[in-house]
Amino acid sequence: HADRAMYEAKQRGRNNFQFFTQALTDGAFERLVMENVLRGAVGRGELVLHYQPQIALASGRLMGFEALVRWNHPELGLVPPGRFIPLAEEIGIIGDIGAWVLRAACRQLADWDAQGFAVPRMGVNLSVKQIDDAGLTELVASALREAGLGEHRLELEVTESMLMGVPETNRAALNAIKSLGVELAVDDFGTGYSNLAYLKLLPLDRLKIDQSFVRDIGRDGNDEAIVRAIIALARSLGLETVAEGVEEAHQAEFLLREGCNLAQGYLYSRPLPAEALSFPMCFRRD
Ligand code: C2E
Ligand code: MG
Ligand code: MG
Ligand code: MG
């Protein structure tokens, strides 16, 4: 199947290539192949989720996982989301991918329940195109229902740019999702063009401090000041904070000292397929 799709894509690409000899660069050819093959990826069952734990800094306890999608292509190997999500958004198939991710992540959480592993929460990344989609609330509701999950187990991650100048319709969608008992986190916080007005308009639960501010903790006083300010802002708004990209123990110590609630990063675990995770997870170092 995959081979056939790749073959067809290549054929199509080749014909086009002859036609646009001058215009079509190698990059464009690759892209055309990618695009055509990506269109069938969900149907061929080539998408996989990896899960990265989120840890409560104070107790070391596992508080949840973030689901991160990968495209497992027979020839290309494991393609990271940065290399196909933007393309999927552009060619209008992010809805299918997003729906698959949401269902698969909810199913996984239910599977862990059935196996007796108490995982409190699952975080799923949303694309801006999904927020614009009128069917999002129904999709989320059906994913929860199909997996038989109770309330407050699912968290959706949105980025600041998706919330900037939120149109009334998007705000209504987020409120509807929230009323299903789903939690909302702002991903990569601090990297968007920050009009902070959305923070008071939307029913948010946590801010994820972008890894670019976490990376140089201990080396860059400005980054430390930004991290402190984000934690203070979150606390005064009644939101939790999650530090992304925690790789070193001294970063975790700084974050704990400053009152950050949760951490996620290679220090604890890389994102892993479910079968590679071992429970129970314990991250206490003492
Ligand atoms: P993100 O949501 O901010 O996810 C965090 C990224 O940082 C992940 O990259 C993760 O593997 C990586 N990471 C985690 N810990 C560390 C660390 O300690 N150090 C470093 N250097 N990196 C770390 P990944 O999996 O390649 O995902 C990249 C982005 O792709 C995500 O950023 C998210 O925006 C997007 N993405 C992933 N899965 C999905 C999805 O299902 N739907 C949508 N729409 N976007 C997704
Ligand atoms: Mg995320
Ligand atoms: Mg992030
Ligand atoms: Mg990011």
- The per-residue pLDDT for range 125-143, each reduced to its tens digit, is 999 899 888 899 999 999 9
Q: Specify the ligand 1 atom closest to the Cα of 68.
A: 38
Residue 105 pLDDT:
98
Q: What is the pLDDT of residues 223-274, one digit of tens each?
A: 999 999 999 999 999 999 999 999 999 999 999 999 999 999 999 999 999 9
Residue 281 pLDDT:
84
Residue 259 pLDDT:
98
The pair phi, psi for residue 40, each rounded to 5°, is -100, 0
Say if residues 216 and 237 touch (Cβ distance below 8 Å).
Answer: no
Looking at ligand 1, which residue's alpha carbon is closest to its atom 30?
81
Say if residues 210 and 230 touch (Cβ distance below 8 Å).
Answer: no
Residue 16 pLDDT:
47
Pocket test for ligand 1, best of 125, 140, 248, 264 (most atoms within 8 A of CB): 125
How far is 174 from 163, CA to CA, in rounded Å? 10
The separation between CA 64 and the C-alpha centre of its own chain, rounded to angstroms, equals 13
List residues near ligand 1 (CB under 6 A): 52, 68-69, 80-82, 85, 98, 101, 125-127, 157, 187-188, 211, 244-247, 265-266, 271
Query: To 10 degrees, what angle do helices 26-38 and 2-19 make?
Result: 140
Looking at ligand 1, which residue's alpha carbon is closest to its atom 8?
68
Q: Rounded to the nearest whole angstrom, what is the distance from the C-alpha of residue 125 to the centroid of ligand 1?
A: 9
Say if residues 53 and 272 touch (Cβ distance below 8 Å).
Answer: no
Q: Which residues contact 115 (CB under 8 A, 6 or more apart)?
A: 279
User: How much is the ipTM here?
Assistant: 0.98
Q: Which residues contact 209 (CB under 8 A, 6 or more apart)?
A: 189, 190, 227, 230, 231, 241, 242, 243, 244, 260
Looking at ligand 1, which residue's alpha carbon is closest to its atom 13?
245
pLDDT under 70: residue ranges of the chain: 1-26, 194, 285-286
Say if residues 106 and 155 touch (Cβ distance below 8 Å).
Answer: no
Flag whether the pTM goes above 0.80. Answer: yes
Q: Specify the ligand 1 atom closest to the Cα of 188.
A: 3
Q: Rounded to the nearest whole angstrom, what is the distance from the C-alpha of residue 177 to the centroid of ligand 4?
A: 23
Residue 131 pLDDT:
87
